[in-house]
Amino acid sequence: MKILIFTDNFSLPIDEGRKKVTYYLMTTLSKKEEVLTICNNSERTPDGVKKIKTNRLLISLRLKKEISIFKPDLILYIPNSSATIYSFMRAAILKKYGNNAKIVVIAHSGPINYKKHHRILLRLFSSYFSQDAILTPSPQLYDQLKKYRFNVRLVPFGVDVNKFKPADHKTKLELRKKYGVEKDAFIVLHVGHITKSRNLEIFSEIQKIDGVQTLIVGSESVPKDRGILKVLKNSGVKLITNYIDNIEEFYQLSDCYVFRGGAVSMPLSVFEAMACNLPVITNKFGILPILFHKGRGFIYCESKRDIIDLIIQIKTSSICEIGTRALVEPYSWDKLVEIICKI
């Protein structure tokens, strides 16, 4: 099968969710299928990715020619802006360039605040894309698009269980030495954007727990909230703000992972932490409650106080059975690729 992957931005480094999804789909699909990846408005990109600069609606003779020559059987579109009206317009143009090839849109977040005058357009798009599909990990977006009769499927993204895996005690100590992390501390980790929507202020409170060192690894490509950075730094939180290629090593040197979500439908970092068999503390949001029940070190919290109490319990071994890796192993990139290829 010939598969075209098109994404709006695929600039290095690959350090945030949408770009990670694009990268893993590209590399996984390339193992079995003929894949052409094209991106728009990107500077440095991964090897093998074609850069074609276009306008907002992808009107481009060069892009049309490239797609026409390739003759895709399937087009995979991963927009920056999820399932907006403009995303559907661009998807329709890509489909036209591909001689009406089947198209799958990966809508990474939702719901979308559609304007009233967009509702007629949504009905038209749902009819136009009746033989195509939208994949999303957002239950809210799934429900929203179902109302407009889109062929939408609720699917989780994947995790690379070969890269993200548990480390033994010796390796953990070596990694702590490598990154200058206190060898005897109980390390509470968060990986992701340093922005207000991530509710990171709780790490200032976690840092006050005796024997705990909090650690946040931020994304380099997403602007950081300076006010939050200052608060965290002054509280003693250890901050890593440059790009880390071997991000799995930070999970492997840690003892617990905390994600107090909000604006994210499915944080890849939670899956990565679970693949490294870390106990995970998170609130119920996005697709997580659909995929996982509480237990085996996967713990839902209701409040900030819950997080503090749960970390103390884990630190003092009150919660003994940790089996988060087994919970996440079914959700591989191969599984997502299998779903895409059967559409």
Pick from 15-24, 263-272, 275-284, 318-327 the range whose average pLDDT is largest. 275-284
Predicted pLDDT at 44: 87
Higher-confidence residue: 229 or 89? Answer: 89
The two structure tokens encoding residue 85: 């009206």
Which of helix, strand or coil describes residue 183? coil
CB of 232 closer than 8 Å to CB of 216: yes
Backbone angles phi and psi of 153, in degrees to 5 = -125, 135
Question: Does residue 18 surpass a pLDDT of 70?
Answer: yes
Half-sphere exposure of 188 (CA within 13 A, CB side): 28
Sign of CA dihedral 145, 151, 156, 162: negative
- Average pLDDT on 30-58 reads 92
Q: What is the pTM of this model?
A: 0.93
Of 13-17, 36-40, 64-68, the one with minimum mean pLDDT is 13-17
For residue 48, the Cα-to-chain-centroid distance in whole angstroms is 22
To the nearest 10°, the Cα dihedral for 331, 264, 232, 245?
Answer: 40
Question: In the predicted model, what is the mean pLDDT of the chain?
Answer: 92
Pick from 13-22, 217-226, 243-252 the range whose average pLDDT is largest. 243-252
Q: How many residues appear in the chain? A: 343
CA distance 196 to 60: 37
CB of 243 closer than 8 Å to CB of 220: yes
Predicted pLDDT at 263: 59
Predicted pLDDT at 13: 87
Of 11-20, 68-77, 118-127, 180-189, the one with minimum mean pLDDT is 11-20
CA distance 202 to 41: 36
Of 58-62, 226-230, 267-271, 276-280, the one with minimum mean pLDDT is 226-230
Give the model confidence (pLDDT) of 111-134 as tens digits.
Answer: 788 888 888 999 999 999 999 999
CB of 301 closer than 8 Å to CB of 282: yes
CA distance 28 to 330: 16
Residue 47 neighbours by CB distance under 10 Å: 4
CA distance 326 to 85: 39
CA distance 75 to 55: 19
Predicted pLDDT at 262: 65
Cite the beta strand spans of the chain per DSSP E: 2-7, 34-39, 49-51, 74-78, 102-106, 133-136, 152-154, 186-192, 212-218, 238-240, 256-259, 280-282, 298-300
CB of 128 closer than 8 Å to CB of 309: no
pLDDT class for 200, splitting at 50, 70, 90? confident
